[in-house]
Amino acid sequence: MTPLRRIAFIGNSLPRHCGIATFTTDLQQAVSISSPNLQTTTVAMTDHGQTYDYPASVALQIKDGNVEEYAPAGSTRFACSTSSEFSAAMPALISSCYCHALPCQ
């Protein structure tokens, strides 16, 4: 089994005020600290009509009501060395709007 090198957390992120944002941010930070050899990033869901000053750990933000942004986000290679699995999983993961950890090989 190939060890994880990169992981993207998909969900709401601080400074957005909600429990999922707090959870996603805390999880990303905890994994980053506990596994310094693992590259972590967050894909943040931004609610309709809002803007946030996201931290550097947020590599990409997607407007949650704009489905057209989901596919280009999935093809972005910031998270995976093989983007096809990321691209295929992205719309399903994002559409639930909960925090998900997507392991990448």
Domain layout of the chain by residue ranges: 6-104
Q: Which of 12-16, 32-36, 39-43, 83-87 has the lowest mean pLDDT?
A: 83-87
- Cα separations in angstroms, 51 against 7, 14, 17, 26: 24, 11, 12, 20
Give the Cα separation of 49 and 91 in Å (integer): 21
Burial of 8 (0-12, 13-18, 19+ CB in 10 A): buried
- The per-residue pLDDT for 52 is 93
The HSE-up count of residue 7 (CA atoms within 13 Å, CB side) is 20
State residue 75's pLDDT score: 54
Higher per-residue confidence, 92 vs 17:
17
Instruction: Give the per-residue pLDDT at 26.
Output: 93
pLDDT at 15: 94
What is the per-residue pLDDT for 66? 72
- Burial label for 7, CB within 10 Å (0-12, 13-18, 19+), is buried
pTM: 0.67
Structure tokens at 54: 């996201």
d(CA 76, CA 59): 10
Tens of pLDDT, residues 41-93: 898 989 888 899 999 999 888 887 776 776 656 555 444 433 344 444 444 44
pLDDT at 11 over 80: yes
Adjacency order of strands within the sheet including 39-46: 58-63, 39-46, 6-11, 100-104
